[in-house]
Amino acid sequence: MKPYIHNVKYYECDRMGIVHHSNYLRFMEEARCDLLEQLGYPFNKMEEEGIVSPVVSISIDYKKPTTFTDDIEITIVVKEMTDLKVTFGYTMKAGGALACKATSTHCFLGPDHRPVVYAQKWPDLTERLSELLVQQ
């Protein structure tokens, strides 16, 4: 897959002059949306089908600060797939140097707010995601 590039905005930086740590979770979301788009299952199409995809958990290690006008290159892999959850792994680099490593786990909820077995609902997407699965 093509990495996602986030260009850091002025308003994303804090008093320390660096990107506020909470914003990386937003960049990760951007990269996920881009990945789903590349896989042919854009996030808003899911929403139109009445599916929402809440975040179950996040872990993130901040390695090196980034700042205004940096281009952050975000690469995503799939780390784990269970019946109800998918875990993505993220590598964020700026100027060739590692900025952050992170993971995020997601589930899918149907219009009745009940968990969706995504392999049944979207077999093609599941196939594509499993191709991105990495050996730990």
Q: 95: exposed, middle or buried (C-beta count within 10 Å: 0-12, 13-18, 19+)?
A: exposed
Residue 22 touches its own copies, criterion: CB under 8 A: yes
| Shortest distance (Å) from residue 126 CB to its own copies | 22
87, 95 contact by CB (below 8 A): no
Beta strands in 2-134 (DSSP E): 4-7, 55-62, 71-81, 86-94, 97-106
| Shortest distance (Å) from residue 91 CB to its own copies | 15
Residue 41 touches its own copies, criterion: CB under 8 A: no
Q: Which of residues 88-117 bind its own copies (CB under 8 A)?
A: none
Which residue type, as a one-letter code, is found at position 22? S
Residue 60 touches its own copies, criterion: CB under 8 A: yes
40, 95 contact by CB (below 8 A): no
Does the annotation count 61 as an active-site position? no
How far is residue 21 CA from its own chain's centroid? 16
- Please work out the total of residues on this chain that contact its own copies, with binding judged by CB under 8 A: 35
| Shortest distance (Å) from residue 64 CB to its own copies | 10
Q: Which spans of this chain sit near its own copies (rule: CB under 8 A)? A: 9-11, 13-18, 20-23, 25-26, 29-30, 33, 42-44, 47, 52, 54-62, 65, 68-69
